[in-house]
Amino acid sequence: MRYDTIIIGSGIAGLYAAINIPKTQKVLLINKRESFKCNSFYAQGGIALSKDEEDIALHIKDTKDAGAGLCDDEAVDILTKYSKEAINDLINRGFEFDKNDDGELAYTKEAAHSTSRILHAGGDATGRYMHHFLLSQNPHPMLGDTRVVDLLIKDGECYGVTVLEHRELRNIYAKNVIIASGGVGSLYEYHTNAPTISADMQGLCILKGIELENMEMMQFHPTVYVNNSYAQKLLLTEALRGEGATIEDEEGRRFLFDYDERGELASRDIVSKSIFDYSQKTGSKIYLNMGNFEYQFFIKRFPNIFNTLKNLGFNAPAQRIPISPAFHYAIGGIKTDSKGLVPNVKNLYAIGEVASTRVHGANRLASNSLLEGLVFALRTVNDILSKKDDSKNKIFLEFEVLDEVMSLKTDKVKKNELREIMWKNVSIVRSKKGLNGALSQVNVILKGNIGKLLKFRLLTAREIILAALARRESVGVHTIIEE
Ligand code: SIN
């Protein structure tokens, strides 16, 4: 069977692309595990939009200010201009965002937004609700527990993928391939990402000579509870601070004002860096204080955070919660144009967190990522659907299935070693010495006997380190010190 389009990953970007391709087309979504094991599912805060014509200019300014001068003008224009259309499309399809007591859409605010322009659903479960809704709208088949381990590319054209399914390798052919597989969370010891998010497609692109860009731009979320026993740490949404929660030291002092006059509402890069610096200098533990919230309101507005914290033994919102920054979002990724096309590889697209559209610059504005997923997914689909179908006259290539070793028993220890290397040396504040040390360590593991899946992670980690070494000045999420 040859498909019209293969979509790798079914987070918000992948699913929104799928539901915009008519059922008459042969589309296949491929998931590494269950479809909900994606980053979109865990998005709490919401989805930003430019509420009206006037807000477009303001939303552009906020996005670019947060992006510290490195946002691409065209990409930001596209994101904001088409934001309302994307949200209205969801609403018209039947999706319900939270409403206020007057039955109007309830907008919240998050750090570095100059106005309340973020919609949410299920209180603090926006990603989960959107994901579930899009899944229910998807008319196309899905292949679960299946990993894409190769891209079938010849002479600058993509013909499909090789998958690993129940330990068997096989090729699946398609006229178009959309990569929507998410970020790189599992490269770091502390992260908020779904457990499946492990930089596979980024690493595969490196192997295939496909360009990644801005890989030094890795975003750390400032308010994460990291003392749980899972690799995925507990995100405490920025909407908490947007609605009044504060960050304080052991003595209850709101030290963030020492760093930025906006305090808790400074952009995410500044808050994370300030927490890191303050705790290094003072040795103080850092806390999120949610005492501003009335108990019943908190339960209704943040039900999942309330329950998760309760299960961990915390009495929220009265009790303050120990927090740390943790890895959250890959700004850099597979280089694409404004329609999601990967340059130099015909019929290959990337959308969502795995892609670099340059919309986020050096620091992503909160809640712009679900929006990016929707807006750029639709552009990709429009590009695919507008192409002239030349398949009748075309010779399709068949590729040999390469028999490669995917994983070895010893890889697990090396994966954990990599997480520690990345957290210690390639996180919030980087030094040249630390980066060079990390590079040597990663190269040593890469030269050893390893499976292809671990190789993907290592190649991506190496790309992040090399990009961090190449950018000599600190900007946005990338802070580098001479040492
Ligand atoms: C959050 O809810 O704080 C995360 C939102 C985002 O990453 O944009």
Interval 207-256: pLDDT, tens:
999 999 999 999 999 999 999 988 899 999 999 999 999 999 999 999 99
The dotted CATH code for 411-481 is: 1.20.58.100
Q: Is the CB–ligand 1 distance for residue 367 below 6 Å?
A: yes
pLDDT of 344 reads 95
Q: Compute, in angstroms, the gap from residue 96 CA to the centroid of ligand 1.
A: 19
Question: Cα 452 to chain center, whole Å?
Answer: 23
CB atoms within 10 A of CB 35: 21
Ligand 1 close to Cβ of residue 222 (< 6 A): no
Instruction: Determine the pLDDT at residue 388.
Output: 86
43 CA → ligand 1 middle, Å: 6
Q: Where are the CATH 1.20.58.100 domain residues in the chain?
A: 411-481
Low-confidence residues in the chain, pLDDT < 70: none
What does the pLDDT read at residue 414?
A: 98
Q: Which atom of ligand 1 is nearest to the CA of 329?
A: 7
Query: 176 in ligand 1 pocket by Cβ < 6 Å?
Result: no
| Residue of 117, 147, 241, 268 marked catalytic | 268
From residue 162, give the alpha-carbon distance in Å to each of 84, 148, 219, 235, 256: 37, 6, 31, 34, 49
Which residues are within 8 A (CB) of 296 and not within 5 positions of it... i.e. 6 or more apart? none
Task: Please tell me the predicted confidence (pLDDT) of residue 394.
Answer: 74
The DSSP annotation for 24-93 comes to TS-EEEE-SS-TT-STGGG--S-EE---SHHHHHHHHHHHHHHTTT---HHHHHHHHHTHHHHHHHHHHH
Q: SS3 for 228? A: coil
For residue 364, which atom of ligand 1 is closest to its CA?
8
- Where does the chain hold its CATH 3.90.700.10 domain(s)? 221-327
Q: Given this model, what pLDDT does residue 483 score?
A: 79
| Contact of 2 with 122, CB cutoff 8 Å | no
Q: In testing the pocket of ligand 1, which one of 238, 264, 302, 365 has its CB within 8 Å of the most ligand atoms?
A: 238
- How high is the pLDDT of residue 389? 80
Q: How far, in Å, from the CA of 175 to the mean position of ligand 1? A: 35
Give the model's pLDDT for residue 390.
77
What is the 435 CA–ligand 1 centroid distance (Å)? 28
The pLDDT, as a whole number, for residue 77 is 98
The total number of residues written for the chain in this structure: 483
Q: What is the pLDDT of residue 107?
A: 97
What's residue 80's pLDDT?
A: 98
DSSP assignment of 409-422: TTHHHHHHHHHHHH
Residue 72's pLDDT is 98
Question: Would you say the CB of residue 223 lies under 6 angstroms from ligand 1?
Answer: no
Residue 7: its H or E element: strand 2-8
**Rounded alpha-carbon distances, angstroms, from residue 259 to 239, 274, 321, 427:** 21, 6, 22, 19
What are 354-370's pLDDT values in tens digits? 999 999 999 999 999 99
Task: Classify domain 221-327 at the CATH class level.
Answer: alpha beta
Query: Are the C-beta atoms of 352 and 377 separated by less than 8 Å?
Result: yes
Annotation says 419 is catalytic? no
d(CA 267, CA 247): 14
pLDDT of residue 427: 97
